[in-house]
Amino acid sequence: MMKYVVAKLDIGAIKCDTVGCGWRDDTVHVDDYPAWLNKLCPNCGGNLLTQKDYDGVQIMLRVVAGYNRWCNRLLPAFILRWMVAKAVRNEFDMKGDGKLRRKK
């Protein structure tokens, strides 16, 4: 049986949240985040990935995986195909406090 990906997260990059710094590394993948946990910014010394933000990312990954499993178990294929076709893209940001903010 085909598994539909109704929701997915494209998480990556590390950036410094210190006002005025602007340092970022777009090559970092979410799987590499544990290595960046509580590391200091090479530019200003700010924390690049706080425990709160890391925990928030892990929760988001688990929620999306669970949602996809739920959808594939309970919804008929024609609904799943429609949901995939109507996908919406949103961008979010985290600032070190574990809170997710939608980018404008």
SS3 53: helix
Q: What is the CA radius of gyration of the chain?
A: 17
pLDDT of residue 92: 80
Question: Which residue positions in the chain have pLDDT lower than 50?
Answer: none
- Which tens digit of pLDDT belongs to each residue from 44-55? 999 999 999 999
pLDDT of residue 87: 82
pLDDT of residue 48: 94
pLDDT of residue 88: 77
Rounded-to-integer distance, Cα 16 and Cα 73, Å: 40
pLDDT of residue 89: 77
Extract the tokens encoding 37. Answer: 């946990």
pLDDT of residue 78: 93
SS3 96: coil
SS3 31: helix
pLDDT of residue 47: 94
Rounded-to-integer distance, Cα 6 and Cα 17, Å: 31
Extract the tokens encoding 63. Answer: 């929620």
